[in-house]
Amino acid sequence: MKNITLLLACCCFVASLNFNSVMAAPSKYVNQTAEPTPSAKASSAALSKQRKNDLLHLVKQDCGSCHGMTLKGGLGPALLPADLVNKPEYFLTITILEGRPGTAMPPWKDILSEQEAQWIAEQLLQGLDHEQN
Ligand code: HEC
């Protein structure tokens, strides 16, 4: 009998712990969704200098074959900062990763990680010269 009381007490204790963590959860989620940007920025800072140089090379050579070596446009549209005004970084990142079905813009997700595509989108918005200097 004594054992059962002890067992019940334990159950209540465990149950109350769970209850507390469930109650605490909503505020955790609110905090996470409120600030998605700092972690995204931190992750793009994690690319090595070498990888960034490789990516810039890829943008000039591979992307440049359609968008022009200086990104002023060709088969694909110009990708200079002035042309991308009002286009969110996220939208450009998705375009790079997934391509544009039905157009010549191919998907790059086999070659580029999401983080790398995001970094390229960031560079396009700022202008490539910005990074090279
Ligand atoms: C085979 C040709 C081709 C290559 C290679 C190519 N693109 Fe494109 N890209 C296009 C075309 C065509 C479009 C326009 C699609 C449309 O009509 O919506 C486009 C659109 C885009 C857009 C959207 C521009 C906007 O104003 O919405 C971005 C960003 C982009 N490309 C980035 C890149 C990057 C970065 C690379 C290299 C990793 C690349 N592209 C390589 C053909 C290409």
Q: Which long-range contacts (CB under 8 A, 24 or more apart) does 52-55 make?
A: 52/119, 52/131, 55/112, 55/116, 55/119, 55/120, 55/123
Q: What is the C-alpha separation between 42 and 37, in angstroms, rounded? A: 8
Instruction: Write out pLDDT tens, residues 2-42.
Output: 555 554 454 444 444 444 444 444 444 444 444 444 444 55
70 and 115 in a single domain? The answer is yes
84 and 44 in a single domain? The answer is yes
Name the closest-CA residue to atom 43, ligand 1: 105
Instruction: Write out pLDDT tens, residues 72-124.
Output: 999 999 999 999 999 999 999 999 999 999 999 999 999 999 999 999 999 99
58 and 8 in a single domain? The answer is no
7 and 44 in a single domain? The answer is no
26 and 56 in a single domain? The answer is no
Task: Please say whether the dihedral angle defined by the alpha carbons of residues 101, 106, 112 and 116, taken in this order, is positive or negative.
Answer: negative
Only one residue has tokens 């450009």, namely 92
Q: Report phi then psi at 94, rounded to 5.
A: -65, -40
Name the closest-CA residue to atom 29, ligand 1: 92
Output the pLDDT for position 2.
56
58, 62, 67, 91: residue to mutate for ligand 1 pocket, most atoms within 8 A of CB: 67
27 and 58 in a single domain? The answer is no
Identify whether the C-beta of residue 88 lies closer than 8 Å to the C-beta of residue 122: no
**Domain region containing 20:** 2-34
Q: What is the C-alpha separation between 53 and 48, in angstroms, rounded? A: 9
State the pTM of this model.
0.73
Q: Is the CB of 96 under 6 A from ligand 1?
A: yes
81 and 115 in a single domain? The answer is yes
Output the pLDDT for position 44.
54
Output the pLDDT for position 46.
85
